[in-house]
Structure 1
Amino acid sequence: MLYSLTGFAKEKNQPVPLCDDALSCEKKQSCAQTPITKLDYQQRGSFCEGVYLRNLAASEFEVVGLAYYPLRYQVENKENLDIFWQQPQPSSAKTLLKIRATALDNKRYRMDTHLPLAKQMFSLPVKVLQALHQKKVQHISDIGITTWFLRSSPRGLKEKVYLPVHAHQGKTQQAENLTLKIRFNSELTDLYYRITQENERRWKVVQSYQPLQLGYYPAKNAFSIPLQGLNEAGLYRIDIRVKQESRRPAAHRVLVLIP
């Protein structure tokens, strides 16, 4: 590998919070009069999960899924949703992997946790997802799963590197279609993407820019980019260019590591 892996803690021995403070109302005075129910976003043992109560100041661009699709998840199935990833080599045993599940259908559900990279699996109980469905609070028809760690770039900056995952309930055949799911806070008029691979500190083009060709790109909807050609182990960069009404074209990039 041409880069180093780092954990999420800023200092040695500093505990890493499980919950996202931007979503939790448990300790915020601004939410003091809002009752905390069993389905609200809160810590549940080794992870945080639930429905967040406040509108988020959403970023313009968000990665909401990197997995082999279709995900084998059914709300009627009571088995845990098992999330698997492959540990890259070499990597430090202390490196933490951030794991996040997000509702993709404009619902306010999220799950956050982190584990050492070497664990290679996280098992999510589906009690909250089932309760949301049964109580008709929210029908979570589709979820996205992302896992990432931090790397030190050649310039010394911390960057997210995403790892693809398999996710399913019980024993089932592994899905094979690696897909990147992204979301924008504003409506787009067009979206182009390309795939490059790191090769001796340079980026080799695997797939040139091409349009996603959806025709309609509404705000806050998740769009799927098929990641074809990621056959070799290595670090890939997904370059994304978007056009919006009355705005200058914008560019984003996503780093993906295939172990």
Structure 2
Amino acid sequence: MKPSTRRRIFRGSLYVILVAAIAALLLSANWKEIKYNFLDVEIAKQLFPAIIITAAKNTVVYTAIAFAGGLLLGLLLALMKLAPVGPYRWIATAYIETFRGLPALLVIFGFAFAVPTAFASWDPPGGSASSGLIGLILVSAAYIAETIRAGIQAVPAGQREAARSLGMAPGWTMISVVLPQAFRIITPPLTNELVIIIKDTSLLFIAGMALGDRELTVFARDSLSQFGNSTPLIVAGLMYLVITLPLTQLVAKLERHQNRGR
């Protein structure tokens, strides 16, 4: 038998196995119960428009705050980690390794409940939800810092040398020459980090939220308790996909563009 024939038979077998597995799954499912517990159209209708104007809006707002705060703090940490002064490097490294090693849920819980207990003056606007958001900012900053650091180090050293030969100061060289090129390099991973933060806003539930502050996951959980049905979980999942899928497609497009550039 020719090798090409064997390959065709092998690929055909894989298709048959896949179709058989999908058919077995579909036939074994209790579609009546699935429709009743997960696809109740009447319950889904009752979730609108609140799931958009409150839950989805809050998810986007929390994501924007966490990403912006994490980006600013991450940039500072990245520059500290590359600084020629040892203590700055040590502090940045300790911070990054600590917050990358801790679960985000634990950090959010700590800033929502433990920090206010330890410091009586701790009273950020927005209460425990804002405290949890600060925890999310600190965690995201640690990951963003490593991304920015890698981008800065990926800029060819000749760019710095050329700028210095023109008489540019080191600080101005970093701002006007290195950072613009670094951010161009790290745009895809930064966008991917944004997608991760969107999903991590679901962890803010641990901090507790008022009705008007609920994001998608808390909204779905409360609706599940209200209706005694899992349809709100499906609707909330679809809303997350509406937000995240365009961003993941953007990441893929940016990566293809960079690969063509190379």
Instruction: Please give the TM-score of this superposition, normalised by the length of structure 1.
Output: 0.23
Question: Which structure has the bigger radius of gyration?
Answer: 2
Instruction: Please give the TM-score of this superposition, normalised by the length of structure 2.
Output: 0.22
More helix by share: 2
Structure possessing the higher relative contact order (Cα contacts under 8 Å, 6 or more residues apart): 2
